[in-house]
Amino acid sequence: MSEDSGRRARAAIPLLLVALLALLAPGCRVVESGTPQDAPPSAAATRNKHAKPSGRRPGVVNIETEQTLNGTRAAGTGIVLTASGLVLTNNHVIQGATAIKGTDVDNRRGYTAQVVGYDRAGDIAVIRLSGATRLKAAAFASAEGVEVGDTVTAVGNAGGKGGTPTVVTGRVTALEQSVTARDDSNGTSERLAGLIETNAPIRPGDSGGPLLDTSGKVIGINTAASAGFSVKDAEQRKDHRGYAIPSDRALEVARQIQRGEASSTVHIGPTAMLGVKVRPNGRSPGALVAELVPGSPPRPPGSPSGASSSPSATPPSTPRPPSRP
């Protein structure tokens, strides 16, 4: 959804980063034969330190999510994997969402979307746009040939405004970076490693969007950006740093999800959600149910199996914050 040149494999100074999820309000097993349009194994042959940045290429989706229990809306970005509507994005973009909408910016059509699977530890998710056909898939290149100094372009739904994606440029400033990303919507954080660092001004809402090489191929998935200070020395920093998950790693997880292969880190199916909001029960043990999400597993006492409940007049407590793995 957070959201300095260095050498390859150097240890990164611990940084506090903002996850790139833009808050807009106070914010079955599936196997598909289609595969992403992969480029040759290395991007080195097309790299040019003095090449002009690429513009936006096909395969970008604006994502909007809603969390019914806490009444928040959020926005992020996705990358089209297949013409039939599989889309790659960050897990933190769709985590905890009760409703997801994706708008393909090439045909300008909006689709409801469902989560196919996700990897919390790697911050990768795949969603499906319902009823989508003949979408223009993004082209991918391996990130193995990327070097410090390469020109890159970041594309995304900056600010959650929708419409035509924003396009910003910069250079790769470091590789194999390890950072701690914080989600300002709920205060949770996660440790991410092996990232591409760039000075392209990536903004909230760009989460899940593509980082492109000079030929317009996806070499990374935007996932976080610097908050402007270092945790280690607390000194204010004026330079901007964005971070992207290398394309090779993201595609490996996406293909595993497409095959329906669950593992210790990869979950197949929608994000788990009980659908209950609770409030304190005074000094008595336990908690009181304050609200149920319509259509979710829980049901009020005395109601028939499968029935749902509308929100009661009881003032809700502070909802359980969605996790930001």
Question: Active-site positions?
Answer: 92, 123, 207
The amino acid at 304: P
Q: Which residue has the tokens 């390859």?
A: 8
- List C-alpha distances in Å: 89 to 124, 186, 193, 212, 244: 6, 20, 17, 15, 12
Non-local (6+) Cβ contacts of 317 within 8 A are 277, 278, 279, 280, 290
- CA angle, 86 as apex, 80 and 89 as ends, to 5°? 65
From CA 291, how far away is CA 279, in angstroms rounded?
A: 9
- CA angle, 100 as apex, 257 and 253 as ends, to 5°? 15
From CA 168, how far away is CA 201, in angstroms rounded?
A: 6
**Comparing C-alpha atoms, which of 293, 287, 289, 288 is closest to residue 310?**
293
Q: What is the 8-class DSSP label of residue 236?
A: B
Over the Cα atoms of the chain, what is R_g?
20
Can you say how many angstroms the Cα of residue 122 is from the centroid of all Cα atoms in its chain?
Answer: 10
- CA angle, 56 as apex, 54 and 57 as ends, to 5°? 100
Could you tell me if 91 and 123 are in contact, meaning their C-beta atoms sit under 8 angstroms apart? yes
Could you tell me if 295 and 306 are in contact, meaning their C-beta atoms sit under 8 angstroms apart? no
Non-local (6+) Cβ contacts of 302 within 8 A are none
- Strand 86-89 versus strand 109-119 pairing type: unpaired
